[in-house]
C-alpha cells in the first residue's frame, strides 16, 4: 500500500512539474518581443530555446529509450551554465533550454527555487532525471552530461584524468585576474598560473586533439576552453602570453564546427560587467531567437 501510495504521489508531482514547464514555455512565448533583457534583473518570463542538434558518431545520444527529453535551466548569462551549454553544442545534443532573467515570477520559472536541491541554478531534468526532482550543482550536471553523452573518455581512468583536468582548470580559474593582467603580484609555483598552465599542457598531451573534428573531447577540455575564451575576451593576447600551446588549444576549440556555430548563436549570452548587466547594453527579447 505504502509503496503504491508513494508511487502515486511521485507521479502526481511529476505531472505538476510538467505543468510548471509548460507554463514557463507558454509565458516565454507570450512575453513582449520588445521587452528589454539587461542581463539579470529585467524581464517578465524566461527565455525559451528549443535546441536541435545532430549527434556525431564519436559521442553518445545521451537519452536512453523511454526517457524524457533533456531540459536545462539556467540564467540569462554565461556563468555556470556555459560549460554545460558548450558540452551540449559539441556533442550535438537536442534539448529544451529555459533561462531566467531573475525578475519573473517563480510560477513561470518552473518553481526553480523550490525544485532545486540546493535552491540554486543551474538545473537539469530528463535523460533519466525526473522533472520533479531535477539535478543541481554545475559540477554534478557537467559530470552527468559527460557520462551520458560520452565526454568522460573511454575508460574509467580516462574519466578520472578528465576530472583531474576539470579540477585543475577550476584552480586556474581562481587565478584569472593574474592571467588577464589585473592582479599586481603573480603567484609563484604550482599554485600560480604559469606552472598550472604548463601542467595542464602535459595533461592535454595524452587527451583527444581538438583540431580533429572526429575526436571526442572530454569535459575537462570543455571547461578549459570556456576559461581560455573568457580570458581572451577580457584581454586579447593574454592566453598566448600565458602559454602558446594553450592558445593553440583555444584556437582549435573555437574552430570546431559545432562550437563555432554555437558561439555565433544567441545561445551564447553577451559578456557582463559587475552587477550582471550586459557589457554592451540591454538586448531585446526578440534577439534571443535561434
Ligand X SMILES: N[C@@H](CCC(=O)N[C@@H](CS)C(=O)NCC(=O)O)C(=O)O
Binder of ligand X out of 137, 147, 265, 271 (CB under 6 A): 137
Minimum distance from CB of 200 to ligand X (Å)? 21
When binding is defined by CB under 6 A, the residue of 23, 120, 248, 251 that contacts ligand X is 120
- Candidates 86-94, 116-124, 184-192, 269-277 — which segment interacts with ligand X by CB under 6 A? 116-124
102 vs 251, beta carbon nearer ligand X: 102
Choices 132-140, 176-184, 192-200, 241-249; region in contact with ligand X by CB under 6 A: 132-140
The three-class DSSP label of residue 53 is coil
Whole-number minimum distance, CB 224 to ligand X, in Å? 17
Write out the binding residues for ligand X, residues 74-113 only, by CB under 6 A.
75, 79-80
Instruction: Tell how strand 95-100 and strand 47-51 pair up.
Output: antiparallel
CB nearer to ligand X: give 79 or 130.
79
Count residues near ligand X (CB under 6 A).
9
* Contact (CB, 8 A) for 87 and 149: yes
Minimum CB distance to ligand X smaller for 122 or for 210 = 122
Contact 225, 249 (CB under 8 A): yes
128 is a contact residue toward ligand X (CB under 6 A): no
What count of other Cβ atoms lies within 10 Å of the Cβ of residue 34? 8
Q: Quick one: which segment of 41-49, 114-122, 231-239, 278-286 binds ligand X (CB under 6 A)?
A: 114-122
Does 173 engage in binding with ligand X (CB under 6 A)?
Answer: no
User: Does 121 contact ligand X by CB under 6 A?
Assistant: yes
Shortest distance (Å) from residue 240 CB to ligand X: 29
Beta strands in the chain (DSSP E): 36-37, 47-51, 71-75, 95-100, 123-125, 135-136, 272-273, 277-278, 283-284
**Given candidates 76, 96, 125, 138, which one binds ligand X under the rule CB under 6 A?**
138
Q: Does 123 bind ligand X (CB under 6 A)?
A: no
Which residues lie below 8 Å from residue 67, measured CB to CB, with a gap of 6+? 126, 127, 128
**Burial letters for 81-117: b for 16+ Cβ neighbours within 10 Å, e otherwise?**
bbbbbbbbbbbbbbbbbbbbbbebeeebbbbbeebbe
Q: Is residue 271 part of the contact set for ligand X (CB under 6 A)?
A: no
DSSP 32: -
C-beta closer to ligand X: residue 7 or 113: 113
For residue 252, give the C-alpha cell: 582549435
Q: Least CB distance from residue 263 to ligand X, whole Å?
A: 21
Is the distance from CB of 184 to CB of 167 less than 8 angstroms?
no
Find cell 552587477 and name the residue.
275
Cell (9 digits) for 21: 514547464
Taking contact as CB under 6 A, which single stretch among the options 82-90, 115-123, 144-152, 225-233 is the one that binds ligand X? 115-123
Positions touching ligand X (CB under 6 A) are 75, 79-80, 120-122, 137-139
Amino acid at each position: 500500500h505504502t509503496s503504491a501510495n508513494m508511487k502515486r504521489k511521485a507521479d502526481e508531482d511529476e505531472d505538476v512539474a510538467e505543468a510548471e514547464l509548460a507554463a514557463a514555455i507558454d509565458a516565454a512565448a507570450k512575453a513582449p518581443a520588445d521587452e528589454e533583457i539587461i542581463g539579470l534583473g529585467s524581464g517578465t518570463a524566461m527565455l525559451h530555446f528549443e535546441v536541435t542538434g545532430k549527434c556525431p558518431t564519436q559521442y553518445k545520444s545521451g537519452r536512453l529509450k523511454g526517457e524524457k527529453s533533456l531540459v536545462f535551466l539556467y540564467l540569462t548569462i554565461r556563468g555556470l551554465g556555459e560549460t554545460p551549454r558548450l558540452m551540449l553544442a559539441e556533442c550535438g545534443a537536442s534539448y529544451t533550454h529555459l533561462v531566467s532573467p531573475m525578475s519573473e515570477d517563480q510560477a513561470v520559472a518552473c518553481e526553480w527555487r523550490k525544485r532545486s536541491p540546493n535552491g540554486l541554478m543551474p538545473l537539469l531534468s530528463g535523460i533519466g532525471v525526473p522533472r520533479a526532482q531535477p539535478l543541481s550543482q554545475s559540477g554534478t550536471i557537467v559530470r552527468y552530461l559527460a557520462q551520458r553523452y560520452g565526454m568522460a573518455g573511454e575508460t574509467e581512468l580516462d574519466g578520472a584524468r578528465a576530472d583531474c583536468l576539470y579540477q585543475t582548470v577550476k584552480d586556474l580559474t581562481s587565478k584569472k585576474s593574474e592571467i588577464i593582467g589585473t592582479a599586481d603580484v603573480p603567484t609563484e609555483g604550482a599554485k600560480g598560473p604559469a606552472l598550472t598552465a604548463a601542467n595542464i599542457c602535459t595533461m592535454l598531451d595524452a587527451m583527444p586533439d581538438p583540431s580533429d573534428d572526429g575526436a571526442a573531447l572530454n569535459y575537462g577540455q570543455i571547461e578549459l576552453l570556456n576559461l581560455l575564451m573568457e580570458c581572451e575576451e577580457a584581454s586579447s593576447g593574454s592566453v598566448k602570453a600565458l602559454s602558446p600551446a594553450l592558445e593553440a588549444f583555444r584556437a582549435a576549440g573555437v574552430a570546431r564546427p559545432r562550437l563555432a556555430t554555437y558561439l555565433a548563436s544567441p545561445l551564447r549570452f553577451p559578456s557582463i560587467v559587475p552587477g550582471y548587466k550586459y557589457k554592451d547594453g540591454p538586448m531585446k527579447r526578440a534577439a534571443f531567437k535561434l
